[in-house]
Amino acid sequence: MYAIVEIAGQQFKVAKDQRLFVHRLEGKEGDKVEFDQVLLIDDEGKVNVGAPAVAGALVKATIERHVQGDKVIVFKKKRRKGYQKSNGHRQKFTEISIADILASGAKKSAPKTEKAPAKKEEPKAEAPKEAAASSDDLSSKTVAELKEMAKAKEISGYSSMKKAELIEALS
């Protein structure tokens, strides 16, 4: 039985009693950690693929030790310019050993809160609008809407009018 699990932003193929090095994890040596981002489980040919994670699957592991990786040297140079710069670092890793792979029956983590769907407002019965709209209603409209209203009322010269002139002509 093996599983593909996401640990610290990387995907690993893990099996029971396997030891592996992952990016530094929080916790002390001997602590138990659980990973619920199980992407795939293979149980003797029976493959279960998640979308994106397998529901109820869990991988349990134990932190063995915290270590540093080999030194990585970063060397920068620009030829014919006299520029050379050497820098380096040692990556921090955590060695973990896989204790168990649970395909189902794992307790679920706290459910994420989802926004409730927007309530549909019932259309309110509005009083019929008067033919002559007030200037407050017209001032909230855009110039394009005012020009369409002027065109519908067959007002001549509406294309060259400004917003204030259109409101005056429609009132």
* Interval 56-68: pLDDT, tens: 999 999 999 999 9
**Model confidence at 32: pLDDT above 50:** yes
CA distances from 159 to 68, 77, 163 (A): 74, 66, 11
- Report how far residue 66's alpha carbon sits from residue 43's, in angstroms, rounded to the nearest whole number: 31
Give the chain's end-to-end CA distance (angstroms, integer).
79
Task: Report the percentage of the chain scoring pLDDT > 70.
Answer: 81
Cβ contacts of 77 within 8 Å, gap of 6 or more: 83, 84, 85
- Quick one: tokens of 37? 């981002």
Cβ contacts of 80 within 8 Å, gap of 6 or more: none
Residue range 147-167: mean pLDDT, rounded: 83
Residue range 22-35: mean pLDDT, rounded: 94
Determine how many CB atoms are found less than 10 A away from the CB of residue 54: 22
Q: What torsion, rounded to 10 degrees, do the Cα atoms 59, 61, 66, 67 define?
A: -70
From the list 34, 99, 20, the residue with the least C-alpha distance to 65 is 20
- What is the amino acid identity at position 169? A
Which is more confidently placed, 156 or 35?
Answer: 35
Residue range 97-109: mean pLDDT, rounded: 78
Which is more confidently placed, 120 or 111?
Answer: 120
**Model confidence at 127: pLDDT above 80:** no
- Report how far residue 36's alpha carbon sits from residue 115's, in angstroms, rounded to the nearest whole number: 23
Cis status, amide bond into 52, omega within 30 of 0: yes
Does the pTM surpass 0.85? The reply is no
What is the crossing angle of helices 163-170 and 143-152, to 10°? 40
Residue range 73-80: mean pLDDT, rounded: 97
